A and B are shown apart, each in its own frame.
Chain A
Amino acid sequence: AQSVTQLGSHVSVSEGALVLLRCNYSSSVPPYLFWYVQYPNQGLQLLLKYTSAATLVKGINGFEAEFKKSETSFHLTKPSAHMSDAAEYFCAVSEAVEYGNKLVFGAGTILRVKS
């Protein structure tokens, strides 16, 4: 069975500050890992994904995440927060297949960016 834990249901940062959203996973098979962002009244949008290639994954909007097997983590970072980054972020895991597969989601982290 697979599971995802996102530490911190709410994270608040100042504009221009580092964004760090934490995600730890559990999987009995090599995982595929994803970060999604959800803006109000919109569908989940894929930020980035890890599919067993490079451990440091770069995504859209300046976000990146590093897969650390020893720590079973896939934390999301952005060097400098922008007001438009305020949204809810979901970490998810699936088995092996990139698309057309079930995703197990974390509970989500709401990111607030202060001016």
Chain B
Amino acid sequence: GAVVSQHPSRVICKSGTSVKIECRSLDFQATTMFWYRQFPKQSLMLMATSNEGSKATYEQGVEKDKFLINHASLTLSTLTVTSAHPEDSSFYICSASGQRGGQETQYFGPGTRLLVL
């Protein structure tokens, strides 16, 4: 079964609205979470890295005020796309890293497809 979940799996919103995407590690504590974005027919591109209880570290070119990341607990990280615009339409994927079954491990969520009209 799934080890990392994302909610919602897909969302359609109007331009100018904000959208929150949740990423949960279901049976382990994720000390580090990563957020990726994938445009059609392109690679997954890392947006930011967050450690529980700390501010996220954003990759170059990613606007931190537009893509708000919160990692308030060891099982939940959220990505909020603020004032979304059509160019933000993409597939957003999270990855959680931490100890599971006594071993360091990393799992990916199934992704969230965002369409901004």
B residues at A contact (CB < 8 Å): 2-4, 9, 31-32, 34, 36, 41-46, 49, 93, 95, 97-98, 104-111
Contacts and interface: CB of A to CB of B under 8 A. Distances in A.
A44 to B, nearest CB: 4
Interface string A95-107: 0001111111111
A36 B43 contact: no
A43 B46 contact: no
Contacts of A36: 108
B28 to A, nearest CB: 12
Contact of B41 (A45, A104, A106, A107): A107
Contact of B46 (A9, A46, A100, A102): A102
Given A4-B43, A99-B106, A103-B46, 6 more contacts: A43-B2, A99-B97, A100-B31, A101-B97, A102-B34, A103-B95
Nearest to B103: A99
A99 B93 CA distance: 17
A90 B2 contact: no
Contact of B42 (A41, A42, A44, A107): A107
Interface in A12-43: 36, 41-43
A9 B49 CA distance: 28
A90 B108 CA distance: 13
Interface string A73-115: 0000000000000000010000000111111111110000000
Nearest to B32: A100
B46 to A, nearest CB: 5
Nearest to A6: B43
A98 to B, nearest CB: 7
